[in-house]
Amino acid sequence: MNAPTSTSIDTYLAEGLTNKVFPSASLLVSKQGRTLYRKNTGCPDDAIFDIASLTKPVATATLLLKLLEEKRVRLNQPISTFLKSFETKDKQLITFKQLSDHISGLPAWKPYFENLLQEQPNLMARWEARQWYLQKIASEELENPIGSKRVYSDLGFIILGIIIENVCKTKLEILFKKYVADSLNLKNTFFLRMGSSSPEALERILPTAEVSVKSGRKRKIQAEVHDDNAYALGGVAGHAGLFSTVDDLDIFLKHIRQNKNKSDIKLGWDSPTAPSQSGQYFSSNSIGHLGYTGCSMWIDFDQDYHIILLTNRTYPSSDNERIKTFRPKLHDLIYKTLILP
């Protein structure tokens, strides 16, 4: 890394801090298996972030791939095979692939946590709330015909997480630890179930909100999941709940790049569509994902590089959306100074 290159990215990251795009950030750039850049700003070098929807590809889609490889489920198999509540006329043909591709017709999001707080407060932040969630999602009207339109949906991945638990008869966090974290030696990537004993890394987790009143959490949100539906489900869900570091995610993305010839490797990922948060330079043969807390990962298979940006832009308030302008410019700067030369 030459000095001008690192300095330009350092400067832009510092501007992000000064301009209150985020209170903390961690950035890593890797090309051809070699780290070109790694820096934390506004936080310790070993800081742990709530990676929000990055949970979908890192945990849920990865565990689904394992079930596919073991032939315990089939990609085009209707989920109603495993969930009786989805045997209704409008939903009985929804498949695993349609859920993972966000073309199931289900709504994007619903504030179920508010309903749970009112209707079944004794289930709040408990694993047992999953059955209640299952019934709520199953009773939702489809917003589009199955397979007709892509609508990014948390609900679809909540369902996938529940099915994976049902098939394996094991909780999601245990499956993730055994088959993903331990397998890849991800030492700082984990779910935090509400009420469970906390890992030693607890004090390294950055805060994501001052309060979360609508879910009944009138306290600083730190070392517990930011997403309110994931919180209602006990802190662990198919759509959100993972905590991680750039170094662990770097290991995970290197594993993805090494296995890129597998036909289903892109399951649960997004692809860049202009205008994209990935910027202007990721090729069409790229995959990535965003997380609500201000986290993102993008892999370009053609040019063999990836960029991981973790932030807690939601702290103290999720009204701060400056990341949407900052992030694509950062990716473009990285491409021009590190990837292109």
- Domain 51-183+207-241 superfamily per CATH: DD-peptidase/beta-lactamase superfamily (3.40.710.10)
User: 0.85 cut: is pTM over it?
Assistant: yes
Q: What is the pLDDT of residues 32-58, one digit of tens each?
A: 999 999 999 999 999 999 999 999 999
* Percent of the chain whose pLDDT exceeds 90: 90
Structure tokens at 143: 């917003």
Q: What is the pLDDT of residues 164-218, one digit of tens each?
A: 999 999 999 999 999 999 999 999 999 999 988 767 778 899 999 999 888 999 9
* Percent of the chain whose pLDDT exceeds 70: 97
Q: What is the pLDDT of residues 298-336, one digit of tens each?
A: 999 999 999 999 999 999 999 999 999 999 999 999 999
Give the confidence band of 2 by pLDDT, cuts at 50, 70, 90.
very low
Mean pLDDT, rounded, for 95-105: 97
Tokens 């001052």 -> residue: 210
Backbone φ and ψ of 305, nearest 5°: -150, 160
Burial 133-148 (b: 16+ CB within 10 A, else e): bbebbbeeeeeeebee
In the chain, where are the structural domains located? 3-47+245-339, 51-183+207-241
Specify the amino acid at residue 7. T
Structure tokens at 62: 């990865």
Please give the pLDDT value at position 186: 98
Q: What is the pLDDT of residues 189-203, one digit of tens each?
A: 999 999 887 677 788
Asked whether the predicted pLDDT for residue 264 surpasses 80, the reply is no
Asked whether the predicted pLDDT for residue 262 surpasses 80, the reply is no
Please give the pLDDT value at position 5: 56
Specify the amino acid at residue 268. G
Tokens 């030369």 -> residue: 341
DSSP, collapsed to helix, strand or coil, labels residue 78 as strand
- Contacts for 297-303 with beta carbons within 8 Å, 24 or more apart? 297/54, 297/57, 297/249, 297/253, 298/272, 298/331, 299/253, 299/256, 299/257, 301/257, 301/260, 303/31, 303/339
Q: What is the CATH number of domain 3-47+245-339?
A: 3.30.450
Q: Strands of 25-31's sheet, edge to edge?
A: 34-41, 25-31, 305-311, 295-300, 286-291
DSSP, collapsed to helix, strand or coil, labels residue 287 as strand
**Cα atoms found within 13 Å of the Cα of residue 163, Cβ hemisphere only:** 30
How far is the C-alpha of 299 from the C-alpha of 27, rounded, in Å? 14
